[in-house]
Structure 1
C-alpha cells in the first residue's frame, strides 16, 4: 500500500527534530455526521486550519475499535477504525489530504494494555493452556487470597483484578477493563510490531506511544517500596490517589523495555518514521527519557511531565529542568507540551492572562526540542467547567469532587461563535460546549490580527523562519527571580530573555552586536546593551 507519495513525504528521516506536532482528540475535533461525536472525516475537513497554523505534523489520539470505557485507550482491535470514527477508507483519505498539505501524520499506539474485549484477552482468560494464555500478566494469589503484591492502579485501588475463570489475578495499571500485556512473552512483542507495520504501510509517519515506560513490569512481581510523604507530587496522579504513596520501582520502568524499543525503532527506520514516547513518572522522567532516546536506536523523542505539572512553570523550575536534563540526558531529544487530553488546560492550570499566555507560547517555541500543541491551545481556551451529571470520564467520576477528571480539557473544539455547539456538530455534543469558549472560536479570532490564534500563527512562522530554533543547540540558560535567559546556537545565534512574572526585570545582553527579532510577536528591543522586560515581557535577538 505504500505509494511513492507516502515514501517521499517520509524521505527526511529527521523531520521530527524540532517539529511542531498538533494533537487532535478525535471525539472532540469535528463531527461530520451529526451524531455528536467527532470523527475522521471531520478531522480531514479541518486539516487546512492546522496547516494554516504552521504545524508540521498531527498526532491523532486513538480511533481504533474499542468499547470506549477509557475513550479509545482501551483497544479491542488495533488494525481497524471504530465505527464511531468512520472506516479505514476515511483514515486513508485523511492521510492523503494531510500529505497534500505537507503535514506528517502520527497516531497514538496504546501498547501496554488492551481492552478486556480484545480477542487476545478473551482467549487468554479461558484457561491456563490456550494459545494466548501467557499474553497477559497473570499471577496466583497469595496464600490468603489477596493480590500477589502491593502494586496500585493509576485509576485507584489495587492494580490486580481477580478472574474466576483462571482463578488468578491479572494486572491492570489503569481500569480493570484494561488488562496489561505480558511483554516478557516474545509473541506479544511480535504481534505489536506487526500493528506498527500495518499502520506504516497505510502511510502514517510515526507514532505517539502511550505510557511507554509501562510496557514491562518486574517478572518477579516484587513489591514497590513506600514513597516518603515529602517526595510525593501529583504530576502523574491526583493528590487524592494513593498511587502517589509508592516509589514505582517494579510495576514500570524495567530495563528490558530498552530491547523492545530497539525492535520498534528497526520497524520505523525503513519508513523514515518517528516515535514520541509518553514518560509517566514523577521521580525519574528525565532519566527515563535519556535511556529511551539514547544511541539513535530507540525512540527519537520522549516527553516527560515537567511542563505538564499543576504548578506554573517558573524561571527557576525551567532552569532546573534544563540543568538536570543536561546532566542526565545531554543528547536526549525532548518533546515539550503545556497541555494535552489528560491535564487541565494550561491557561487555567497556571491562571494565565492573555499577556502571560502569549509569552509562554513564544517561550515554548524557542526551547530546544520538539513541541506538541493541544487542540484549542491556539485559541487560549480555558478549562471547561463540567457538571457532575455531564461527566463521561471514569477517572473524574471516581475521585469527584476533589479531582474532576479530564473532561474539562476534552470538550469540543469551537469553530463558530454564533452556534451553540461552536460549529462542532449539528447534533448534541458528547460533552457540552461551554459558553466561555464561544467567544474564542476560530471564526471569532481568524480576522483579528491581535487575536491569540494569529499570535500562534506568527510564533510558528517565526520558529520556521529561524531553523536554529528547530534543531539548534541551547546554551547558557540562567535564571534570576522571574528572569530566564538562554542562547540558541547553530548557523545563527539567538539570545532569548523571558520575564515569567508580573514585576519588570532587566537583562543584560551577552557581548557582541545584536539585532532585535520578533517585533510581530510583541518582543521588546534592546537599549544600550540591555533589555527592559515588563510583566510577561520577552526579547529575542540575533547576533550579527
Structure 2
C-alpha cells in the first residue's frame, strides 16, 4: 500500500482531532444551549483553524443529567440540539469542508428512561429481563456487594417491581447494560450501524474499560492510597474495572467498525500508562487510538515530561499509532495548570510529538477554568461528591467567541456562565493578534500538514537537560529538532549539525539559518529547527 493510500485508509494517523461539547459550542436560537445549527454556522472557523476531524460529545436523545451520557434513544437526536435532518446537513457540510465527524458511543449504560430499561425493570420475566446487571439482595436485604458508584454511594439501586438491585457505575439514573448478553451486543451494533450508514467517520467509546464486571460479584478491596481521595476512590476497582473479558467487548465493537472501510475507533481507557498497550490489541483488533492523557497528568518540568513520554512509548506495542490528548470535557484545563506562557510550549509539544493530537474546544486560545458559582453548578459529580475541587463545569462553560456579554455564544442566558469578558481569552480577539496562542495552534497545524516528518515521521528522544525538553522527528529525507524551554528563564541549547529555524512559539522569529549549532531559548520558548543534511 502506498503512503498516499495508507494516509486515506488510516486518516486518523495524520489527523488533528478537535473535541466539541455541542451544548457549549454555539447557540443558534437564543435558548442558551449550543446546537447543530450553531455548529453548522462555525464550520468556516473549523476550516480556518485547520483541524481534520471533530469529535462530538453525545447528541442523542437524553434527559441530560450528565452532559448527555445518559441516553434515552441511541438512534435519535436530542430535540434541543435539532433533528436527524439537521444532523445529515451538518455531516454533509463538514465533509464538504474536508472535516470528518466522530460521535461518542456510550455502550456501558443507558438512561433509566430508555425503553430497554423500562422493559427490563418491569419484570424478571420480560423479554429484556437480562439486558442490565441485576442481582438479588444480600442476606441482610442490602446491596449484593460493596461496589461503589463513581458519583458517590453504593453502585446498587433497589427496584421494587423486580425485588432486585441493578448496578450503576455512574448515576442512579444510568443503569449498566449487561454485555454478557448477546442481545445487548447486537442492539449496540445496530445503533452503531445506524450512524455509520449515515456517513459518520468513527466513534469514541466512552468508559470502554468497564463494560464487563465480575460475574461472581466479588467485593472490591480497599484502596491503600485512598487518603484525601473522594469516596468513590476509596476502593481498588479490580472487580468492576478493566476486567479481561472487556477486551472481547471492544473487539466486538471493532468488528462492527471494520465492516465500514476508513472508519476509526478511539476510546476512553483507564489505568496507568503501563496498561494502555493492551487496548490496542497487540495482534488483535481493538481500539485504533486508546486515548492517552499522560501529558495532562505529568508534572510540568523537563525531566518529568521526558520520563512521561518515554514511559508511554515503551508501553504501547510496536507498529501501533500513538495518541496524545491535552484536554477534554471531564479533564481540568491544562492552561490553568501550567499557565499562559507554557501553554504555547504545550501546543508545540502536542503538535510535534509522534502521534495523533486531540484537544478540546477552547484549548486553542489557552482558555482557563471558568469560575462557576455554587448555585449554577450542573455537574452531578460536584453535587453528589462536593468539596474535592473536581467539578467539571469550569471546563464545560460555553465558548467565548468575542468580548460581548453573551460571548458571541448566545443572545440569551447561557446554560453555564461565561467568564467576565474583561481580559478573558476569546476567538475574535486572538484572530486579530498575529502572535496569539490561537495563531500558534493554527501555524503549528499548518506546519505539521506541510511536513511529513512532523506528521508521520519517526521519533528520537534527546537527553533533556537544563530545563529543556528536546527530541527529533524524521522521515528519511528530512530531520527536525524540537527544543522546548520549560523554564521561565533563558536557556542555551546546543546540538550537532547545521540547522534552520522554522518556528518559535513566540511567533516573532523569522525562518532563518542558524549560524552555529546553538540557540538561546527565551523563557517559556520552544522552537522547531530543520536540520540540514551533512
Tell me which interval the TM-score lies in, with the shorter structure as reference length.
over 0.9
1:271 and 2:256 aligned: no
Contact 2:501 2:528 in 1 (8 A): yes
Aligned residues: 522
Alignment correspondent of 1:260 = 249
1:82 and 2:82 aligned: no
SS in 2 for 1:295: coil
Question: Distance in 2 between the 1:371 and 1:436 partners?
Answer: 29
Describe how 1:354-369 pairs up with structure 2 within 5 A: 355-369=341-355
Question: Distance in 1 between the 2:368 and 2:326 partners?
Answer: 13
Deviations 1:340-365, CA, capped at 9 Å, x for gaps: 11122111133x03x21111111111
SS in 2 for 1:480: coil
- Alpha-carbon offset, residue 539 of structure 1: 2.5
- Alpha-carbon offset, residue 375 of structure 1: 0.8
CA-atom RMSD in angstroms: 2.2
Question: Distance in 2 between the 1:286 and 1:334 partners?
Answer: 14
Contact 1:415 1:442 in 2 (8 A): yes
More divergent stretch after superposition (104-113 vs 335-344)? 335-344
1:387 and 2:373 aligned: yes
> How has the CA–CA distance of structure 1 residues 533 and 11 changed in structure 2, closer, same or farther, with 3 Å as cutoff?
closer
SS in 1 for 2:294: coil
Alignment correspondent of 2:102 = 106
> How has the CA–CA distance of structure 1 residues 153 and 428 changed in structure 2, closer, same or farther, with 3 Å as cutoff?
same
Contact 2:69 2:106 in 1 (8 A): yes
Question: Distance in 1 between the 2:462 and 2:80 partners?
Answer: 47
Alignment correspondent of 1:528 = 516
Contact 1:40 1:86 in 2 (8 A): yes
Alignment correspondent of 2:50 = 54
SS in 1 for 2:500: strand
Contact 1:414 1:437 in 2 (8 A): no
1:67 and 2:63 aligned: yes
1:466 and 2:466 aligned: no
Alignment correspondent of 1:373 = 359
Alignment correspondent of 1:318 = 305
Question: Distance in 1 between the 2:131 and 2:310 partners?
Answer: 41
- Alpha-carbon offset, residue 30 of structure 1: 0.7
Alignment correspondent of 1:422 = 407
Question: Distance in 1 between the 2:169 and 2:158 partners?
Answer: 14
Alignment correspondent of 1:398 = 384
TM-score by length of 1: 0.91
Alignment correspondent of 1:295 = 283
Alignment correspondent of 1:236 = none
> How has the CA–CA distance of structure 1 residues 80 and 388 changed in structure 2, closer, same or farther, with 3 Å as cutoff?
same
Alignment correspondent of 2:491 = 505
- Alpha-carbon offset, residue 316 of structure 1: 2.5
Question: Distance in 1 between the 2:344 and 2:155 partners?
Answer: 41
Alignment correspondent of 1:514 = 499
- Alpha-carbon offset, residue 399 of structure 1: 3.0
Deviations 1:191-241, CA, capped at 9 Å, x for gaps: 111111110111100111111111111222222222222xx69xxxxx541
Question: Distance in 1 between the 2:365 and 2:493 partners?
Answer: 30
1:24 and 2:11 aligned: no
- Alpha-carbon offset, residue 73 of structure 1: 0.5
Contact 2:55 2:204 in 1 (8 A): yes
Q: Which sections of structure 1, spanning at least 5 residues, go unmatched? A: 1-8, 234-238
Contact 1:276 1:335 in 2 (8 A): no
> How has the CA–CA distance of structure 1 residues 496 and 10 changed in structure 2, closer, same or farther, with 3 Å as cutoff?
closer
1:131 and 2:127 aligned: yes
Alignment correspondent of 1:248 = 237
TM-score by length of 2: 0.92
Describe how 1:208-227 pairs up with structure 2 within 5 A: 208-227=204-223
1:333 and 2:318 aligned: no
Contact 1:63 1:82 in 2 (8 A): yes
Question: Distance in 1 between the 2:139 and 2:159 partners?
Answer: 16
Question: Distance in 1 between the 2:284 and 2:394 partners?
Answer: 38
- Alpha-carbon offset, residue 464 of structure 1: 1.1
1:346 and 2:342 aligned: no
More divergent stretch after superposition (330-339 vs 453-462)? 330-339
> How has the CA–CA distance of structure 1 residues 469 and 296 changed in structure 2, closer, same or farther, with 3 Å as cutoff?
farther
- Alpha-carbon offset, residue 62 of structure 1: 0.5
- Alpha-carbon offset, residue 519 of structure 1: 4.4
Q: Which sections of structure 2, spanning at least 5 residues, go unmatched? A: none
Alignment correspondent of 1:304 = 292
Question: Distance in 2 between the 1:370 and 1:523 partners?
Answer: 27
Question: Distance in 2 between the 1:10 and 1:440 partners?
Answer: 38
